[in-house]
Amino acid sequence: MPKVIWKAPSEVQHLLEAIKKKHHSPRLDECSLAVCFEDSKPFVKNKLNLGKLTKFGATARLYQEEKFDFCLIIPSSLWQDMLNLDSKKAFLDLQLTRCSMEYEPEVIEENGKNKKIMDEFGRIQYSKAPKYDAEGNIKWKIEPLDLEVFAQNVSRYGLWQDDLITLKEAIDSSGGTSASNQDS
């Protein structure tokens, strides 16, 4: 049976916008997010269900009165039953942290062709110039839920969920040693 999805109340959208303005401006000033609820469980395979963050494609945007770049789908039971106001703010901030603008790569001309500049590890270097689609809209991407995203979120909201507390305990129990120190 398909899950039921509905538009989040305006209070949730206003809370998201307030967090976006406070912590993600000017980086996300041009970005718009729709927020929905889904009747899904707060845990999946004993892991906290952090919902879904998706990009709206060009086709979906054709049918929108208000143009949205992303859609955040929140498990309703997580929001209603498990998160207090502070953890709701942290949750929304975590999802906003994942929203990122695509940038043009830095290039140099070599033999009449543009060549992307790479660092010593082979990673492409990017400029501060945003990428745009054919219609002139900024191109957006979703960052994975990785340590960098969680670190940014924790720096603003602390250890607001059990997995973050477990990670801190693991770090503390290691005595703060790095992998290179443990190999010695």
Q: What pLDDT does residue 94 have?
A: 98
Contact 13, 50 (CB under 8 A): no
**Alpha carbon separation from 26 to 22, 23, 30, 134, 144 (Å, rounded):** 9, 9, 8, 23, 21
Full pLDDT tens readout for the chain, 184 residues:
668 999 999 999 999 999 999 999 999 999 999 999 999 999 999 889 999 999 987 777 777 777 899 999 999 999 999 999 999 999 999 999 999 999 999 999 999 999 999 999 999 999 999 999 888 889 999 999 999 999 999 999 999 998 888 889 998 998 766 665 555 5
Residue whose pair of structure tokens reads 């994975």 in the numeric block = 144
Q: What pLDDT does residue 178 have?
A: 66
Q: What pLDDT does residue 121 have?
A: 94
Q: What pLDDT does residue 175 have?
A: 79
Contact 34, 72 (CB under 8 A): yes
DSSP symbols for 85-120: HHHHHHHHHHHHHHEEE-EEEPEEEETTEEEE-B-T
Rounded Cα gap, residues 4 and 1, in angstroms: 9
How open is the CA angle 56-58-61, to the nearest 5 degrees?
Answer: 65
Q: What 8-state DSSP symbol labels residue 79? A: I
- Can you give the pTM of this predicted structure? 0.86
Q: What 8-state DSSP symbol labels residue 78? A: I
Q: What pLDDT does residue 63 have?
A: 74
Q: What pLDDT does residue 179 have?
A: 63
Give kind and range of the element (H or E) at residue 42: none
